[in-house]
Amino acid sequence: MYKRKTFIINKEFQYGFIATFLVIVIISLIIFSGGFFLYYWLRDTVGEWKYDEFIDIKQEFTIKVQPINANNIVDPYALAVKLQDNQAPMSKYIQANISGQALLLINSFDEQTDSYEIQRVISQALTQFLKYLITQNKDLTKTGITISPELQELIDKNPDIQSAERYRLNLMIIVDAYKDELQITISDDPNELEELQIQKIQSSRKRYEIVFPTLLMNNLIIMILIMVIGIFYSHRMAGPIYRMEQDIKKVLAGEKDLRIKVRKKDKFKELAELINKLIQKLK
């Protein structure tokens, strides 16, 4: 088949063709975007003003934490009594942030309860309490509890509230609060640590700051694709039409033995063949 070197044959036709396509696409995208915004505007379950609503951007990650074991509780009865005291700031805060079942068990403990059962329940409850502080972004140092000067120095370093360092600090605060009942050596041994999954808030952004850039980028990609497809497809139409137009003018001008040549992937090949047959008959 004939192969032309010039990529764009009829610029006026092609540019007009592409411009028409782009106008249609832009109008379609405007309608789509308008419908998208209207949808959120009318949905009463999203919020009063959806695009001013803040959305938390979260990231999941794992930290290593040291649990409280049953054998760390050296005086289970005394610790149970202290945890039952809802006037002490630390015990009151623990009671407010442990499970209801654990709280009922702790409040039911007395001197007749098996000591190992007390150790088991309290160690699990305190470990879950420490994990809860980290996962829920709670600050144990702002609960009115008494902090020793040594621990205050560590608090002043301001470790991230959702980190292994903060968990370790909270553990040290609990041990300090119940130092006669708890004996724990802070360890970094991986064999003594547990994994804790955390969802950490990276940032809070308004809804429109998330929706608008994505929507605009999507629209831009669509327009670029339409433009590329439009150039390629229109070239396959504009080329043969322009070629046939120029060759017909040459025939009318008296040129003989002329044959319209098209490429393999050009459109209107059948029309070009019919015109060639017509030229032959006219001869």
Q: What is the pLDDT of residues 198-221, one digit of tens each?
A: 877 666 666 666 666 777 777 778
147 and 233 in a common domain: no
Is it the case that residue 45 has pLDDT exceeding 90? no
Select from 186, 221, 242 the last residue of a domain.
Answer: 186
**Residue 259 pLDDT grade (very low, low, confident, very high; cuts 50, 70, 90):** confident
Per-chain mean pLDDT for the chain:
80
Same domain, 223 and 175: no
pLDDT score, position 162 = 86
* Contact criterion met (CB below 8 Å) for 91 and 85: yes
Residue 249: predicted pLDDT: 84
Q: Per the domain annotation, does 171 fall within a domain?
A: yes
Q: What is the mean pLDDT of residues 106-121?
A: 91
* Chosen domain end from 124, 155, 186: 186
Residue 250: which domain range? 11-48+208-282
Same domain, 31 and 71: no
- 58 or 272: which leads in pLDDT: 272
Distance of CA 219 to the CA centre of its chain: 20
Model pLDDT, residue 104: 92
Backbone φ and ψ of 24, nearest 5°:
-60, -45
**Are residue 72 and residue 167 in the same domain, yes or no?**
yes
**Quick check: is 71 in a domain?**
yes
Task: Tally the domains of the chain.
Answer: 2
Q: Is a pLDDT exceeding 90 seen at residue 38?
A: no
Whole-number pLDDT of residue 1: 41
Angle, helices 89-96 vs 76-84, to 10°: value is: 80
Taking alpha carbons only, the member of 1, 6, 24, 26 closest to residue 238 is 6
Mean pLDDT value of segment 22-44: 70
Whether residues 181 and 79 share a domain: the answer is yes
Do 88 and 180 lie in a common domain?
yes
Most confident of 137-141, 205-209, 220-224: 137-141
pTM, full prediction = 0.56
pLDDT at 5: 46
Do 110 and 24 share a structural domain? no
Cβ atoms within 10 Å of 178's Cβ, excluding its own = 19
The answer on 242 and 133 residing in a single domain is no
277 with 15: CB under 8 angstroms? no
84: in domain = yes
